Every structure is written in structure tokens, then in C-alpha cells.
Amino acid sequence: MLLCFDMDNTLVKSNKIHIKAFNKSFLKAGLKKVPAKKLVEHFGKDKALVVKGVYPNLKKEKLIEILYYHNSFVIKETAKHIKLIRGVKKALFKLKKMGFKLALLSNCSHAQMEVILKHAKIDKRLFSILVGADEVKHSKPSPDEIIKAKKQLKAKSCFMIGDSIYDILAGKKAKVKTISVLTGDHTKKMLMQKKPDYIIKSVAKLPQFMKKLKSSS
């Protein structure tokens, strides 16, 4: 069985690194900083949609420029602000030991994912595959990342685990089971409106949950 994990706010607390990187990018592109709260409202979407959410009238060239800067700032400067969510690393090791295949799917670029994992001290070898937004045609809420992971790992059954409504939407489009965690910016009420199959407190609780699910099936 394959467990597909979102990264930001599912395994790591990452709002700070993206807020700083976006605002540095806006300034470098000759725009004004955006309040953190306004930016966070769009987190979980494709990075281009985050930028369009706060600057809807940007020309394509300017959007591409900002996304390039954001990628660079995360990799070179802001990833150091990453914080691992409590109990996550231990849970990933347990799940691996239980025989699950693990995949990491993110709307960050592959290079950003590697740097964030390094700063969070999560061994990337825990995952059978890493799929970044730059490795698929459409990132979440599109199902492309899940479909790619499933195909490459030849997985028949799969769960999508994430903190946002976009993870649920991607999972449903990919026709896999969805598990929402309450470690992100989307409330339980917001998540429930999109009808995930299950909701748990954190990835830290996942080994226990999967064991219980396995025994009841």
C-alpha cells in the first residue's frame, strides 16, 4: 500500500519560509510586500495561484520572474526557518517498518523539497519517490502528482495524506482514499466540507490509525 504525503504543514511547519520568500520576491520584482495573513489564505494552491491571489493583474513575464525568485529564496535563504511537526519523523520510520511505501508530493519544486527535508532533518530515503510541482503538468488540486507516484511505484491501493482542502480534492480526483490532518491552516470544518475519508490530529498519529484500519478491514 502506498501512502502519499503532502509536505508543507503536513510534515513540516513551513508558512514562515514561504511568506519570507514571497515577500523578498515581490520586493525584488518592484512590488510591495503582502501581509502574511493575506498570503496564507492562498497557501496549499499551486505557487502561481498564490501569487495571482494577491496580485491578480500581473503580466505573465512578471509572474514567471516572481516564481523564479521565490524558488531561489527558499533554496538559498529561507528554508532554514523550517520546523518539523512533532512526532512526524518517528511516525514515518514506523510506517516504513510496517511495510508501507511512502511518497512525498508537493506544490514546491523538487529542489525546494530536498532543501526543506535537509533542514528538517528528514531523510529523503524514507520516501520511494519525491514528486514536485515542476515534475508534473498540473500540481494539486490536480491529481497529477498522485497519479505519477502510483504509476511509478506500481501501487494498487493508495492514501493521500495532507493538511489542506487541495489535498482532499487531488485525492478524490485520483480516486484514492484521503486522510486529512489538523496541522495546517484549514480548520476541521473547512476540511469536512470537502468530505475526506478520515480526519486525524497529526501524521504522528498515523501509524496507530493505519494499524487500527488494517485490523478492522
Sketch the domain layout of the chain as residue ranges: 2-13+83-216, 15-81
Fold of 15-81: DNA polymerase; domain 1 (1.10.150)
Write the Ramachandran bin of 195: left for phi over 0, alpha for psi from -120 to 50, otherwise beta.
left
Contact 11, 84 (CB under 8 A): yes
Residue 74 confidence (pLDDT): 96
Q: Which three cell numbers stand for residue 91?
A: 511516525
Confidence of residue 217 (pLDDT cuts 50, 70, 90): low
Residue 192 confidence (pLDDT): 97
- DSSP 8-state class, residue 85: P
Confidence of residue 214 (pLDDT cuts 50, 70, 90): confident
Same-fold call for 2-13+83-216 versus 15-81: no
Beta carbons within 8 Å of 29's beta carbon, 6+ residues apart: 62, 65, 66, 69
Residue 215 confidence (pLDDT): 81
User: In CATH, what class is 2-13+83-216?
Assistant: alpha beta
